[in-house]
């Protein structure tokens, strides 16, 4: 069934593991993520960015995820990833999303606090938790070109959480969206430091391209949610390309869709095990 991300992340924080949050673009990816979660007995978050929502709309993604989760025996949350406006957050909320991110990290602190607080005020009466972001994740996410990594300041983080009322916080600790052009400089000591002063679960963005060891280190220092997007797109597309290359006469989307779905499921299962969320349901 669909659940909010709140208890899921608090359980992860308590248990010292992270929930995997996977970006889905289409039905096959949604099916793959849920199948992986079921097979590993893992709680899971499925998320869509504004760019993805532009492609098919909140209603279609909500219907897809809720139908796929209907008979699932593990908790599934549907999350708005990098929400970029109050309007989109409310649209997702109304469509039935059970978890919302508002990303004001490009703004100065005061403005980030103001917009995040506003989104929390809309979501809180519906019991829907909000993820905020303070500090910057590098790389390019969606249509927004990042302006480099910005490490989260612990003092600002404490103030941000207290003033906004967010349920979780995405932090800048050296990761970047997409595949790394240069080796990331992860500051795991900063994660540990933030963990000491923050009560809410912390979120790691930009996990595609990180080594298993990097992810394990971040989780052991206090990360409770890890986001994976690019590597799933790659797994999906590589499987389609390979299949069509070997079977150029095939025109049934179910044929290559099944291969792509299998490839995404395999990738998701690997990452879930690294996050340590397997066997938690």
Show the site string, 14-43: x = touches ligand 13P by CB under 6 A, - = not: ---------x--------------------
Task: Name which position in 209, 222, 257, 276 contacts Na ion (CB under 5 A).
Answer: 209
Chain residues 75-94 in contact with ligand 13P, contact rule CB under 6 A: 81-82
Query: Which among 136, 141, 114, 121 is positioned nearest to 208, based on CA atoms?
Result: 141
Residue 205 annotated in ligand binding:
yes
Q: 235 near 263, Cβ under 8 Å?
A: yes
Residue 116 annotated in ligand binding:
no
Task: Name which position in 43, 129, 206, 257 contacts ligand 13P (CB under 6 A).
Answer: 206
205 binds ligand 13P (CB under 6 A): yes
Residue 230 annotated in ligand binding:
yes
Chain residues 144-203 in contact with ligand 13P, contact rule CB under 6 A: 177-178
Residue 278 known to be catalytic: no
CB of 82 to Zn ion, least distance (A): 6
23 binds Na ion (CB under 5 A): no
The first and second tokens of residue 5, run together, are 């991300």
Q: Assign 3-class secondary structure to the chain.
A: CECCCHHHHHHHHHHCCCEEEEECCCHHHHHHHHHHHHHHCCCEEEEECHHHHHHHCHHHHHHHHHHHHCCCCCCEEEEEEEECCHHHHHHHHHHCCCEEEECCCCCCHHHHHHHHHHHHHHHHHHCCCEEEEECECEEEECCEECCCCECCCHHHHHHHHHHHCCCEEEECCCCEECCCCCCCCCCHHHHHHHHHHCCCCEEECCCCCCCHHHHHHHHHCCEEEEEECHHHHHHHHHHHHHHHHHCCCCCCHHHHHHHHHHHHHHHHHHHHHHHCCCCCC
Task: Name which position in 100, 227, 272, 274 contacts ligand 13P (CB under 6 A).
Answer: 227
Question: With respect to Na ion, which residue has the nearer C-beta, 83 or 206?
Answer: 206
- Residue whose entry in the numeric block shows the structure tokens 């500090």: 135
206 binds Na ion (CB under 5 A): yes
230 binds ligand 13P (CB under 6 A): yes
Residue 209 annotated in ligand binding:
no
Task: Name which position in 207, 263, 269, 272 contacts ligand 13P (CB under 6 A).
Answer: 207
Which stretch, 65-73, 107-115, 223-231, 260-268, contacts Zn ion (CB under 5 A)?
223-231
Residue 208 annotated in ligand binding:
yes
Q: Which does 184 bind (CB under 5 to 8 A by kind): Na ion, Zn ion, ligand 13P, none?
A: none
Distance of CA 191 to the CA centre of its chain: 18
Chain positions contacting Na ion, by CB under 5 A: 206, 208-209
Chain positions contacting ligand 13P, by CB under 6 A: 23, 81-82, 177-178, 205-208, 227-231
Q: Would you name the residues annotated as active-site residues?
A: 81
Residues in binding site for Zn(2+): 82, 103, 133, 177, 205
């Amino acid at each position: 069934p669909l659940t909010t991300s709140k208890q899921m992340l608090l359980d992860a924080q308590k248990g010292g593991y992270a929930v995997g949050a996977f970006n889905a673009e289409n039905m096959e990816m949604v099916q793959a993520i849920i199948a992986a979660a079921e097979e590993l007995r893992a709680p899971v978050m499925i998320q869509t960015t504004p760019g993805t929502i532009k492609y098919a709309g909140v209603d279609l993604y909500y219907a897809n995820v809720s139908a796929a989760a209907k008979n699932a025996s593990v908790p599934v949350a549907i999350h708005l990833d990098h929400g970029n406006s109050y309007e989109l957050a409310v649209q997702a909320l109304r469509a039935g999303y059970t978890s919302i991110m508002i990303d004001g990290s490009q703004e100065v602190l005061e403005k980030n606090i103001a917009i995040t607080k506003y989104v929390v005020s809309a979501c809180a009466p519906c019991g829907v938790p909000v993820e905020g972001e303070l500090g910057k994740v590098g790389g390019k996410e969606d249509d927004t070109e990042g302006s480099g990594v910005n490490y989260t300041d612990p003092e600002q983080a404490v103030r941000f959480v207290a003033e906004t009322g967010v349920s979780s916080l995405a932090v800048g600790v050296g990761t970047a969206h997409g595949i790394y052009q240069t080796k990331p400089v992860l500051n795991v000591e900063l994660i540990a430091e933030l963990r000491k002063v923050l009560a809410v679960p912390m979120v790691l963005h930009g996990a595609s391209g990180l080594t298993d060891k990097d992810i394990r280190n971040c989780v052991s220092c206090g990360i409770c949610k890890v986001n994976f997007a690019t590597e799933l797109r790659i797994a999906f597309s590589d499987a389609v390309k390979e299949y069509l290359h070997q079977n150029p006469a095939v025109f049934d989307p179910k044929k290559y869709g099944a291969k792509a779905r299998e490839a995404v499921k395999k990738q998701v299962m690997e990452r879930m095990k690294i996050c340590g969320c397997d066997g938690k349901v």
